[in-house]
Structure formats: C-alpha cells, structure tokens
Structure 1
Amino acid sequence: MDKVKLNGMMFYGYHGLYPEENKLGQRFTVDLELMLDLSEAGRRDQMGDSIDYGQAYEVAQSVVEGKAYNLVETVAETLAEEMFKSFSVLQAIKVTVDKPGPPIPGYYQSVAIEIERERPHELS
C-alpha cells in the first residue's frame, strides 16, 4: 500500500503517570505512516486525492499538545482515531510515539509505543 510519511514531528505534552510529568511536561516525537492509494494523486495531481501534510501535522499537534493522558498508548490510539476522522481516504495507519527520558530508572534513549490500525468499518 502507498504511504504518506511524517517523520520526527516534535510536540510538547503533559502525558504520564507521575504528577511531575503532568505539571512540567516534556517533548514527544511522533512518526506517522498514513496508508492509502496514491495512484489517483499521482495521475491527477490533485490534493484531494492525497493527504495534506500540513493538516495531518495539525491533527497530530492537537492530540499531543491537547488533553493529558496517563499512557502514551492512549496518545497513540487517539492519534489514529483522529486521523481516520480527519481523512476519508486514509485506509490504515502506523503511529509511533516516542517519549525521550521518561522518569524511570535505567539508562536508555527513550521508550516508544507503535501501533497499526485499519480504518474502522463505521468510518468507511
């Protein structure tokens, strides 16, 4: 399947289980793979046959910088749901939400959640 990819989008959010995370917030990095048929876009050269990158960025920004969630899993799931609502041509999505330096013991670069979803039948 064809893909529109948005890589390394950075947002500041307040997601986490600990009060400090909800108060101080932190940076989150998001990658999206938006899967759809791009053959018409390639032939017709019309934006309506694809997904507007700027609009996809704005949807992601509104989720990550919006309501605070306890779990990064919820951020990823909400991102997928909002993308399907926003883009009728979207058939499937892969969402990666990376949380650099979460407040847990150990040495590592980050933790991340990656989900893959297909368009729900009720949104078809």
Structure 2
Amino acid sequence: MSRVVLEGLEFHARHGVYDTEGVLGARFVVDAELYYDFAGLPDELSAAVNYAAVYIAIQEEVTGKRHQLIEVLADRIARRILSDQPGLARVTVRVHKPFAPLPGVFRDVFAELTLEQEDR
C-alpha cells in the first residue's frame, strides 16, 4: 500500500486536563499517514487524496474544540480524515504533546491511532 505523509504539522491549542492548559495553551504537533493505492494514478488532483484539504481538516480539529485527552483528539482527526477523503484505505494519526505537564525530563508524548475506512 502506498502512502502520503503529512509530518510535523504544528498548532497552538488548549487541550489538556488542567485548567492552566486551557488558559495558556501549548504547541501540539500532528502527523498523518494517508494510505491509498496511487500506483498508476492519472496526474489530476481529482483522482488523488487532496492533502491540502486534509491539512485544513486537521487544523480545524486541533484548534476548534478543546479536549482533555490527546487520545480523543487523535480519534477525532482520524475519523474526520476518513470521512472527508473516501478514497483513503487507512489513516494513521499521531498527536504529539511535547510540553506535556510531566514531572521529569522527556522528549515527547504522543497518541497514535490507525483506522481503516470500514472502522469509521
């Protein structure tokens, strides 16, 4: 299966369990892997998955509504992408929260979800 990857999409949003996260917000980073068979695809946007539209959908989901859990945000994004892009066979979404309020040194925290078209 072939794929197109949108990696490192950064947004400022207010997700999190704590009140301060809702007030101050933080940086969230999203990766989306879009799986569909594009071998032999004609060179026309109408025949492909429109990843500019996917970007806008991700941006709306991340910045539009506050969620306590990044797991829920990942689910909302994955389901939206599959709904908006019926040509996709599968999508993998990662929502990174690199500044999660944890009591230690860490590089990243992320939630990852893979859904197939029939899962939505």
Quickly name the TM-score band, shorter chain normalised: over 0.9
SS at match of 2:109: strand
| Rounded Cα–Cα distance in structure 2 between residues aligned with 1:39 and 1:117 | 22
Do the aligned partners of 2:36 and 2:89 also contact (CA within 8 Å) in 1? yes
Aligned to 2:52: 54
SS at match of 1:100: coil
- TM-score norm. by structure 1 comes to 0.92
| Rounded Cα–Cα distance in structure 2 between residues aligned with 1:26 and 1:38 | 36
Q: What is the Cα deviation at residue 28 of structure 1?
A: 0.5
Q: What is the Cα deviation at residue 40 of structure 1?
A: 4.2
Mapping for residues 1-16 of structure 1, pairs under 5 Å: 1-16=1-16
Mapping for residues 2-81 of structure 1, pairs under 5 Å: 2-41=2-41, 44-81=42-79
Q: How many residues align?
A: 120
Per-residue CA distance 1:87-119 (angstroms, 9 max, x = gap): 010110111111012112010122011111111
- TM-score norm. by structure 2 comes to 0.94
Give 5+ residue unaligned stretches, structure 2: none
Q: What is the Cα deviation at residue 64 of structure 1?
A: 0.5
Per-residue CA distance 1:21-62 (angstroms, 9 max, x = gap): 111111101111000111242xx1111221112111100000
SS at match of 1:8: strand
Q: What is the Cα deviation at residue 84 of structure 1?
A: 0.9
Q: Any runs of at least 4 consecutive aligned residues in structure 1 with deviations exceeding 6 A, and if so which? A: none
Which of 72, 92, 95 pairs up with 1:94? 92
- For residue 66 of structure 1, what is the amino acid of its counterpart? G
| Rounded Cα–Cα distance in structure 1 between residues aligned with 2:21 and 2:113 | 23
Do the aligned partners of 1:40 and 1:49 also contact (CA within 8 Å) in 2? no
SS at match of 1:38: coil
| Rounded Cα–Cα distance in structure 1 between residues aligned with 2:76 and 2:40 | 28
Give 5+ residue unaligned stretches, structure 1: none
**What is the CA RMSD across the aligned residues, in angstroms?**
1.2
